[in-house]
Structures are given as structure tokens and as C-alpha cells.
Amino acid sequence: MKTSDIRIRDPFVLADHQTKTYYLYGTTDENVWTGPASGFQVYKSGNLQQWEGPFEAFRPQPDFWANQHFWAPEVFEWQGSYYMLATFKSEDRCRGTQVLKAESALGPFKPLTDGPITPEGWECLDGTLFVDKNEVPWMVFCREWLQIEDGEMYAMPLSMDLQAASGEPILLFTASQAPWTKPVRETNYVTDGPFLYEIENGGLEMIWSSHSEKGYAVGVAKSVSGAVEGPWVHEEKPLLDEDGGHGMLFRDFAGERRLAIHTPNKSPNERAIFLKVKELDQ
């Protein structure tokens, strides 16, 4: 099938440069917002245009704790296995990011723990993995505006097996601190979809999503120290503000950097697009 045939939110591409295979993950349930949720699908391709699948990357067992809001899976290769970070929620437990593991990029992925590793009692989502220069794994995640009004971005160091936090969460910034964000209500600012990446000069940047004057958008923040802990400063204007968001970056097999987002931000019309991006001199 073609990319335009696949309804998907929060697209994430794992590019396997050895086998020349792209794996596409994302929020794929038909009933994205209210559930009941069924799981995650994955597609594979050699050219980002024609895809095989869907394959069942994750299907919950009957005793799985969550039953709704299966969102934004991201898959990383780490220490010889594949790890999925994804958002889940149930009626009696807060939304949070859980880590799952598989021996294949196609899955099946199995939970490492019996619940999220984001802080208990916090409404959290969109955890992403970043391994720093000291080979320390970090989860960067959002604390939701639904609970605290002004959405927050946190970084939390993880154990080497990715099963637990190895330190307290560190507040990086709030959504309203970026000059381009606009509230979705009077005082409600959104943090969504962080993704960290190193730039050519060795610096560290993050793309993340919120609402701008034109709708769901992607902005850029830069770590002044070059470390996950920041401090983080924001670009004046969003990178992309034309009704698309929840982005990530990957290198295609030609070596070019691509931005994957979904657009438009309206169900059920969401589709993945893969935009070529160029890093300007810093």
C-alpha cells in the first residue's frame, strides 16, 4: 500500500541501514480518543512510498492494565533488542509511558513492567528515548496540561535495562515559555511529542509540538549546555505550523535527514509525510 493509504497519527520511523528497511509505527487504532484500544501496528518499506503490512507490533493480553489511549509508540534498538516507548491509559490509572521489548522490529512487543515508568499520579504522555554522550539512557516526556494547565516537559534518567527511573524527573520547560505557543483555552498550553537529536556541531536540540496561531505545530528548542538537563531556549517561530505535528527525525538511506509528522491533525484524515530538512549553520 501507499503512504497515503495508511491512516496514522504520531508517525515514527525506525531506519535499519543494514537491511535497508524502514519500519513505520504510530497511533493506529480506529477509535483514537475514547477506545477501547486494540494495540499498535507496524509497516515496513524499502523506499518510504510503498509499504507492506500491517503487522501486529503489540496486542495487549487480557490482564493488561490499560484499555484506552494507546498513543505514539516509538521504537529504538538498544543493547541488541528493540524497545518500544508508548502511552497508555485506563479509567482508574493515570496516562503514562510504558516500555515494551521485542527481539524483532516487527514485534511482538511485551511489557517490561506492570505499568508506566512515568511518575505515579502524574498524567504523562509521549515519552521518547535519548542516550547521552556518557551512554546514559534518558526518557523525555510531557506532563499534561489537562492536569496542570501549563504543560511541562521533563527528562528522567533510566536504568540500563529501561525498566525504571534511576533518578528524579527534571523540569526542562513549560509550554508557555516558548514565544510561538498559544493556549488551547485561556490558560491551557500543550506539550506534545518531544524528540531529541544531535546537530552537526555536537549541540543538542529538541523538536516538540504545541499549538501556534495556525494550529497544531512543531517547534525547536536548543540545550544551551549541550546536555539533556539544559537549560533549554526556544526558537522564536515554529519550524512548521500548518496543521501538522508530533514529529521525529531520521536519516534516510541516502543520508538525508527527514522530518516525519502527521497531517492534517483531524481524524480520520491523518497521514504520515516525510519532509527533507536541512541543517543551517549554527
pLDDT digits (tens, 9 = 90+) for 209-246: 999 999 999 999 999 999 999 999 999 999 999 888 89
Give the model's pLDDT for residue 202: 86
- The contacts of residue 18 (CB under 8 Å, 6+ apart) are none
pLDDT at 282 over 90: no
| Phi, psi values for residue 115, rounded to 5° | -175, -175
Q: CA torsion, points 240, 170, 125, 162, in degrees to nearest 10?
A: 110
| Beta strand 81-90 pairing with 232-234 | unpaired
pLDDT at 159 over 70: yes
Q: What band does 182 get if pLDDT is binned at 50, 70 and 90?
A: very high
Share of the chain above pLDDT 70, in %: 99
Separation CA 171–CA 180 (nearest Å):
20
Backbone dihedral region for residue 76 (phi beyond 0: left; psi -120 to 50: alpha; all else: beta):
beta
Q: What is the DSSP letter of 35?
A: -
Per-residue pLDDT tens for 25-56? Answer: 999 998 888 879 999 999 999 999 999 999 99
Helices (H) and strands (E) in the chain, counts: 1, 19
Give the model's pLDDT for residue 223: 98
Nearest alpha-carbon partner for 142 in 132, 134, 153: 153
Q: What band does 279 get if pLDDT is binned at 50, 70 and 90?
A: confident
Per-residue pLDDT tens for 86-128? Answer: 999 999 999 999 999 999 999 999 999 999 999 999 999 999 9
Cis peptide leading into 264, omega within 30 of 0? yes
Give the model's pLDDT for residue 186: 84
Separation CA 186–CA 149 (nearest Å):
9
pLDDT at 80 over 80: yes
User: What kind and span of H or E run contains 9?
Assistant: strand 9-16
Are residues 142 and 151 in contact, defined by beta-carbon separation less than 8 angstroms?
A: yes
Give the model's pLDDT for residue 165: 97
The three three-digit cell numbers of residue 83, written as one number: 524497545
Give the model's pLDDT for residue 31: 84
For residues 59-63, average pLDDT? 96
Helix (H, G, I), strand (E, B) or coil at 105: coil
Alpha-carbon separation of residue 50 from 2, 11, 47 (angstroms): 5, 15, 7
Task: Quote the mean pLDDT of the chain.
Answer: 95
Cβ count near 91 (within 10 Å): 8
What is the torsional sign of CA 87, 21, 206, 260?
Answer: negative
For residues 152-158, average pLDDT? 98
Helix (H, G, I), strand (E, B) or coil at 253: coil
Separation CA 204–CA 196 (nearest Å):
7
With 0-12 / 13-18 / 19 or more C-beta atoms within 10 angstroms meaning exposed / middle / buried, residue 15 is: middle
CATH architecture of 3-276: 5 Propeller (2.115)
Q: What band does 185 get if pLDDT is binned at 50, 70 and 90?
A: confident
Separation CA 45–CA 20 (nearest Å):
9
Q: Where are the domains of the chain?
A: 3-276
Separation CA 54–CA 52 (nearest Å):
6
Give the model's pLDDT for residue 131: 98
